[in-house]
Amino acid sequence: MVNKSIFREYDIRGIVGDELNQESVKLIGYFLGQKVYEKFKEDSYVAIGYDARTHSPELFSYLASGFNKAGCTVLNMDMVATGVNYFANYQTFEIEGKTIQANASVMITGSHNPSQYNGFKITLDKKPFFGDEIYALGDEIIASNIDIENNDKNYKIDVKSIYIDYIVNEFSHLKGMKEKFIIDCGNGVADTVLTTILDKLELNYDGLYCKPDGSFPNHHPDPSEEKNLKDVIEALKSDYEYGFAYDGDADRIAFLTKKHNVKGDIMALLFAKTMENPTIVGEVKCTQIMYDLINESGTAIMYKTGHSNLKVKLKEVNADLAAEVSGHIFFNDRYFGFDDAIYATFRLLELIYNKMDIDKEIDALPKTFSTEEIKVHTTEEEKFLLIDKLKKLLEDPPADFPTIIDIIDVDGVRVIFNQGWGLVRASNTTPVLVTRFESTIEENAKLYEEKLNNLIAMAQDELNSTTN
């Protein structure tokens, strides 16, 4: 029996053995392969790569069997970073004397989840396959009764060499840069390409935990949590000027100076300063400073959280850049519009090469006080119902509730107050509500947190009273 919970908003993800196993993964490959074949017929080429997790090659074999049964040709990238996987969709390859292009790609990765997890990030015809498409795929698979034989026939393709040459060429002007920096690959897949590029450009760096190891022996591969950056932070106390860290599949980046841990929304603001009349897409968790300052010289658009959502919105409005606070950075300016932490590294190095004083730029920003993401635990069944209840309560809030200037409901509720904002949204991947608060006055950030948490508690009480 295939577990419905593995079919998530942005990808397919679950525990290997229990949820992702020979049966379920073959079916995912087969039904996904049918969708590719329906569109591209005999020219259905699916490029598959995988991360460093020990079970990723096994899942590759199962997935390839499903695609082969559906009539697709499987292209094998081996171990790659997610950005390299996406990059494959824009390249041509020689297969048995024929020049071909991938119509779809699958990245086998558990991203920053614990080592027992794995999953699939899917691109079809250069677009993310997500949301209702994934849920519908899950319904088809659950209703099916098909046996799929073992047949993992595939053709090797060397995407990494093409990617390395591309980045080295694009950033050849950085060659020999003197600034010293440290990278922390977290034993993920960043260094399937990264140090080769750095060496070809003769850059002045040292590396931590570069060897891919799916057991992640040194720290959890999630650079959005400061505890996983302690070695980079320690290194920056010496003669390193900058630090970079990556998640397990290298689609998210952390960037640090001696003074600042530069979040994705502030990175977007720095990049926007180098663009004429920029259009930047941010998620609902981004600081208001980013939106306000970008709107002074260009256009800032607030949209839903999630790498797939932002990729689609970026293309829809033809934006230059999109960003998530967590370090997903999507360059449409001079690139292909997908999140790639390796590419983002060199755009950041380019800012430094062009003499941008990162610390000075950040220190000059208006001062705000903001919380990290704060999670309120609930259930998969209740999380969206709670958001609906909260919206109703905000229509007529308690008398002591701070004055509401506006409510943005593109993703959960972002409540705009006189001197800041508070966000409550349902996570699309876990059974939690995600909250974040920001104000120009520290006490107000705490007040917004307190008052919105009180409303969440009221919403929970109302929901419990109607279900009991």
Residue whose entry in the numeric block shows the structure tokens 């040194």: 218
Catalytic residue among 13, 53, 252, 414: 13
SS3 content of the chain, % helix, strand, coil (to 5): 40, 25, 35
> Cα separation of 268 and 290, whole Å?
8
Assess whether 111 carries a catalytic annotation: yes
Determine the residue type at 326: S
The active-site residue out of 24, 44, 111, 224 is 111
Q: Which of 227, 278, 263 is nearest to 438 (CA)?
A: 263
Query: Which is it for strands 98-101 and 92-95: parallel, antiparallel or unpaired?
Result: antiparallel
Cβ density class 105-131: b for 16+ within 10 Å, e for less? bbbbbbbbbebebbbbbbbbebebbbb
Tokens of 248: 């397990």
CB 108 within 8 A of CB 59: yes
Catalytic residue, candidates 307, 328, 414, 425: 328
Which positions ≥6 away from 238 have C-beta within 8 Å? Answer: none
What's the Cα-to-Cα distance from 178 to each of 91, 232, 257, 349, rounded to whole Å?
Answer: 33, 19, 16, 11
Whether 334 is catalytic is no
Reply yes or no on whether 425 is catalytic.
no
**CB contact set of 87 (below 8 Å; sequence gap of 6+):** 159, 162, 163, 166, 336, 338, 340
- Residue 336 CB burial class (10 angstroms; 0-12, 13-18, ≥19): middle
Residue with tokens 């041509």: 92
Amino acid occupying residue 193: V
Enumerate the active-site residues: 13, 111, 328
